[in-house]
């Protein structure tokens, strides 16, 4: 029996028409063809929306209604999820579908200073009227700024001809990164530490002690001691899960991309070690949608791990984000993995108590688990002796931007001079973001402060995920702050008033010729004290730091 035939038995309104949206047989056939024999469960809603979007270039009302039927969800549930994420093009009934080609130009802080506006003009000059140009938040390629994205391929300023080729119907060829595959990783001893764990040669409690001795802390931004977080799971009821947060949406951050594009198996092995340590039955990697090449790498290499049986009884799952900075917040990420809008949860309960689907869940960042195999191999003191190294994402007015491996406590000046080849020609060091958009802004006079967890607290700043953006005399502090607050305004999930309205009001306050410091402080206090999650709490940081250190520029 067709869907249309089945609808004959549904209730009708007074005019005799069927209530609600009628589901067409063609739409159901389309959706079923895409889903095949995939499971019809709510947790896959975002994955299946991607399937439709990838196949048709948009999400039509008919296809969303058909998907709701397949997953036995209310149509409103599918619609609210689809409209929450930036990367889904929802076409309402009666609306025209978007152009076949959409180009997204990154307008986050590094791309803006490097000429995203000029890149937009250049792209418009080579495109016809049937091409749509949109602005996008940070796409995690700040070392190549300015950047545009077309057909999920990142196009750099020097590659505009590739966009023109795409417009003219030619295929875009973007090879996978030259990464270390499974065979090469194993040839260097990869997965030996995991094998020792799974075989019983290593003790769980002793392993946690090694991690504790190393001083390893969460490298996604919060800096919480890793061993302590693992300890929260010890007496939690089973089954337990692990979630790896690979949604590095903080403007200026791209170190997770580097890990996946170079040695993905160190992340995979580390994730499996973490899962074994807390006796989790599965590990979920939540990857931001801006990294399609990383997704291809992970799909390929995870399958190799599974085919080789290296993961033991621990299931590995890869989940694809859909463009939402808020999903970098751990509870927002959990909601998204479950196929929902990425709205942060109120706490308690904490993820270690009730995480994915209410199960105790350990959440670690990509770079945190990246270090686990080496720490187990060489011992906790080795990591300490190396200076607790981690990756710094450095971009802006430097000659050699990129991901730099340096000891904890390295200064911004050292990063510029010793790791990035100095300032770009014609530029003089003026200011820097020590921790991306939310970490505040500091002057050159404080460039010798060690960049480590807690060292910048006295200045009202923090290093977060170690996203360091360098500014020069050519950069206006007011405009920098406007860019950052616009980002927070766009990315606020809207769940709580202090963040949703606060970001909007903050942008209006700093758009004035002279800033009202007292009113800004009052608004900042309300946002810090009353916002549900870190987005609203940290959003005022760059503005407050600008008032503190660059008063002559903003008043």
State the pLDDT at residue 93.
85
Shared domain check, 373 and 292: yes
Shared domain check, 323 and 220: yes
Cis amide leading into 349 (omega within 30): yes
What is the token pair recorded at 98?
A: 């978007």
Q: Show the domain range for 436.
A: 389-470
Shared domain check, 503 and 431: no
Q: Is residue 549 part of a domain?
A: yes
State the pLDDT at residue 166.
61
- Specify whether the CB–CB gap between 374 and 258 falls below 8 A: no
CATH code: domain of residue 68: 1.10.10.1590
Q: Is residue 408 part of a domain?
A: yes
CB atoms within 10 A of CB 520: 20
Shared domain check, 205 and 156: no
Which residue, 143, 330, 177, 153, is CA-closest to 253?
143
Shared domain check, 276 and 308: yes
Distance CA 102, CA 106 (A): 13
Distance CA 88, CA 99 (A): 14
Shared domain check, 317 and 197: yes
Q: Which of 470, 492, 525 is the last residue of a domain?
A: 470
Cis amide leading into 465 (omega within 30): no
State the pLDDT at residue 17.
46
Q: Is residue 8 part of a domain?
A: no
State the pLDDT at residue 61.
95
Cis amide leading into 153 (omega within 30): no
φ/ψ bin of 191: left (φ > 0), alpha (ψ from -120 to 50), beta (otherwise): left
Q: In 72-128, where does DSSP find H-type helix?
A: 75-82, 109-114, 116-126
Q: Is the dihedral angle over the CA atoms 298, 405, 392, 152 positive or is it negative?
A: negative
What is the chain's pLDDT, residue by residue, as a tens digit (555 residues)?
Answer: 455 555 544 555 554 444 567 899 999 999 999 999 999 999 999 999 999 999 999 999 999 999 999 999 999 999 999 999 999 999 998 899 998 888 899 999 999 999 999 989 888 888 777 788 999 999 999 999 999 888 767 777 667 776 666 656 655 556 789 999 999 999 999 999 999 999 999 999 999 999 999 999 999 988 999 999 999 999 999 999 999 999 999 999 999 999 999 999 999 999 999 999 999 999 999 999 999 999 999 999 999 999 999 999 999 999 999 999 999 999 999 999 999 999 999 999 999 999 999 999 999 999 999 999 999 999 999 999 999 999 999 999 999 999 999 999 999 999 999 999 999 999 999 999 999 999 999 999 999 999 999 999 999 999 999 999 999 999 999 999 999 999 999 999 999 999 999 999 999 999 999 999 999 999 999 999 999 999 999 999 999 999 999 999 887
Shared domain check, 366 and 338: yes
Distance CA 183, CA 441 (A): 44
Shared domain check, 110 and 85: no
State the pLDDT at residue 278.
98
Secondary structure element (H or E) that encloses residue 240, with its range: strand 240-246
């Amino acid at each position: 029996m067709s869907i249309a035939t089945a609808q004959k038995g549904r209730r009708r309104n007074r005019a005799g028409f069927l209530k609600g949206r009628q589901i067409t047989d063609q739409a159901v056939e389309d959706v079923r063809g895409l889903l095949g024999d995939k499971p019809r469960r709510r947790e896959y809603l975002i994955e299946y929306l991607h399937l439709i979007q990838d196949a048709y270039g948009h999400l039509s009302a008919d296809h969303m209604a058909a998907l709701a039927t397949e997953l036995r969800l209310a149509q409103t549930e599918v619609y609210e999820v689809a409209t929450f994420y930036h990367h889904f093009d929802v076409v309402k009934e009666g609306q025209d579908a978007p152009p076949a080609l959409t180009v997204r130009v990154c307008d986050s802080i590094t791309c803006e200073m490097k000429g995203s506006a000029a890149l937009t003009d250049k792209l418009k000059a080579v495109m016809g009227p049937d091409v749509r140009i949109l602005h996008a938040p940070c796409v995690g390629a700040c070392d190549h700024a300015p950047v545009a994205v077309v057909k999920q391929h990142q196009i750099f300023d020097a590659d505009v001809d590739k966009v023109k080729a795409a417009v003219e119907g030619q295929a875009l060829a973007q090879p996978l990164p030259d990464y270390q595959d499974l065979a090469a990783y194993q040839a260097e001893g990869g997965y030996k530490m995991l094998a020792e764990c799974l075989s019983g040669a290593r003790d769980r409690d002793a392993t946690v002690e090694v991690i504790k001795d190393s001083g390893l802390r969460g490298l996604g931004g919060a800096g919480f001691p890793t061993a302590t977080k693992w300890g929260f799971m010890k007496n939690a009821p089973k089954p337990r899960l692990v979630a790896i947060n690979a949604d590095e949406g903080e403007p200026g951050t791209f170190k997770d991309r580097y890990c996946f594009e170079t040695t993905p198996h160190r992340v995979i092995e580390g994730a499996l070690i973490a899962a074994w340590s807390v006796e989790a039955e599965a590990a979920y990697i939540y990857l931001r949608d801006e990294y399609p090449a990383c997704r291809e790498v992970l799909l390929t290499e995870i399958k190799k791990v599974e085919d080789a049986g290296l993961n033991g009884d621990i299931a590995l799952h890869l989940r694809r984000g859909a463009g939402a900075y808020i999903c970098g917040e751990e509870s927002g990420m959990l909601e998204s993995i479950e196929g929902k809008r990425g709205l942060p949860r109120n706490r308690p309960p904490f993820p270690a108590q009730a995480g994915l689907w209410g199960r105790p869940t350990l959440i670690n960042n990509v770079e945190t688990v990246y270090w686990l195999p080496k720490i187990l191999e060489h011992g906790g003191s080795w990591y300490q002796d190396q200076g607790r190294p981690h990756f710094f994402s450095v971009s802006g007015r430097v000659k050699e931007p990129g991901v730099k491996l340096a000891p904890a406590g390295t200064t911004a000046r050292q990063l510029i001079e010793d790791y990035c080849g100095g300032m770009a020609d014609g530029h003089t060091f003026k200011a820097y973001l020590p921790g991306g958009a939310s970490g505040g802004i500091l002057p050159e006079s404080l460039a010798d402060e060690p960049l480590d967890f807690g060292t910048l607290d006295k200045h009202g700043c923090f290093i977060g995920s170690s996203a360091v953006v360098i500014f020069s005399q050519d950069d206006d502090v007011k405009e920098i702050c406007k860019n950052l607050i616009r980002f927070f305004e766009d990315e606020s999930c809207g769940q709580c008033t202090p963040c949703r309205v606060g970001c909007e009001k903050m942008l209006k306050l700093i758009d004035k010729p002279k800033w009202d410091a007292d009113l800004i402080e009052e608004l900042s206090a309300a946002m810090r004290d009353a916002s549900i999650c870190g987005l609203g709490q940290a959003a005022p940081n760059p503005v407050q730091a600008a008032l503190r250190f660059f008063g002559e520029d903003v008043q």
